[in-house]
Amino acid sequence: METETLNWARIRRVCEIAENAGMYDVRAHEGYSEPGYDGVPVTGNWNDKKQYVEAERRFETIDATPSRVARILEKLGLELEWCDEWTECSECFKLVRTSGDSYEWTRSYVESEYGSVCLECVESDPEPYVEPMIGEAGQAWTLCTSMLTECGFEEYVGGFEHGLHPGQDSSPVEIAGRLAEHDVTDFVFVLDSVGQFDATFSVWVRTEDLSSLPEDPDELGKTDGPSVSAGLKAALQDVGRAEATVPAGPGPVMVKCDVSTGTATARRVSPEDFVKEAG
């Protein structure tokens, strides 16, 4: 629904009622700056308040205000979004998604000292947002690569893979080290695609630095780090040992695997904490 056709007086009144009821995070926004989304969004926590009934081993609703407010705002023509999955662009105040809605999702914004800045605002002047990523092995560009070209960068080599499958061990830290051996320190890593268990990326360098690097990227040398799949295998094999350290008692046991160390940790949690951490 278009902004001008909405009953903003009634929307503001509903938001005031929600705030008075303790829903302090309900807020209507200018629109979306996330690709694929349209309409006028309102963010909030739409979960009804519940409490766990130990005797019956179930949750019961003690306050259904959030779902009632959500239904009213939806009927008024707004698009409902969760406040912990979206944020406003600090420049245009439109919404961008911060939590993926699919395995292939990548963010359409960058972080700056002033907050999140959406793709549309970055496009108008990309250089200030590219600059902090130059020479950083721990960051990756997720926006249009045409903006890197505009800033004087060119792709040197792509097809790097990092993930949980055997052989997907490419390491930005190792790659940065190989580039430094050729006196190339101005580089930007680009996240090209992501999947459920892996990601592919490329490395871009300044156009004038291409002549300093081997024409055949295979001649760079070692670009792999520790095996991710081997770390996962070792951690899964360690689950039995970790579970054996948990004292007997009521409640589920949560196990976490650390791929970097190849180990697992386990602990017993309450039903409430299990719902919070697992859901």
pLDDT at 273: 77
E strand intervals along the chain: 27-28, 41-44, 49-53, 58-63, 79-82, 86-88, 95-97, 109-112, 115-118, 153-163, 187-194, 198-206, 253-258, 263-268
pLDDT confidence tier of residue 3, bands split at 50, 70 and 90: low
Nearest Cα residue to 172 out of 192, 153, 152, 151: 192
Per the prediction, the chain carries an average pLDDT of 93
Three-class SS state of 137:
coil
- pLDDT tier for residue 2 given thresholds of 50, 70 and 90: low
pLDDT bucket at 136, cuts 50 / 70 / 90: very high
Phi, psi of 108 (to 5 degrees): -105, 40
pLDDT for 279 beyond 60? no
Q: Determine the average pLDDT of the residues in 201-208.
A: 98
Nearest-angstrom CA–CA distance, 36 and 97: 11
Q: Residue 7: is it exposed, middle or buried by C-beta count within 10 angstroms (0-12/13-18/19+)? A: exposed
Q: What HEC string does 156-168 produce? A: EEEEEEEECCCCC
Please, which residues have CB within 8 angstroms of residue 166's CB and are 6 or more apart in sequence? 227, 229
**Integer Cα distance of 266 and 185 in angstroms:** 42
Average pLDDT over residues 246-257: 91
Number of Cβ within a 10 Å radius of residue 112: 15
pLDDT at 1: 55
Amino acid type, 245: T
Cβ-based neighbour number of residue 10 at 10 Å: 12
Q: Tell me if 185 sits within 8 A of 166, measured CB to CB.
A: no
Q: Give per-residue pLDDT as tens, 44-91.
A: 999 999 988 888 888 899 999 999 999 999 999 999 999 999 999 999
Give yes or no for a contact between 51 and 60, defined as CB atoms under 8 angstroms apart: yes
Residue 40 has pLDDT above 60, yes or no: yes
> Who has greater pLDDT, 270 or 235?
235
- Tell me the mean pLDDT in the region 116-131: 96
**Tokens linked to 275:** 């719902």
Instruction: Summarize pLDDT for 140-178 with one digit per residue, the tens.
Output: 999 999 999 999 999 999 999 999 999 999 999 999 999
Tens of pLDDT, residues 206-218: 999 999 999 999 9
Tell me the pLDDT tens digit for each residue of 11-36.
Answer: 999 999 999 988 999 999 989 999 99
Q: What pLDDT score does 172 carry?
A: 97
Query: Which pTM does this prediction carry?
Result: 0.85
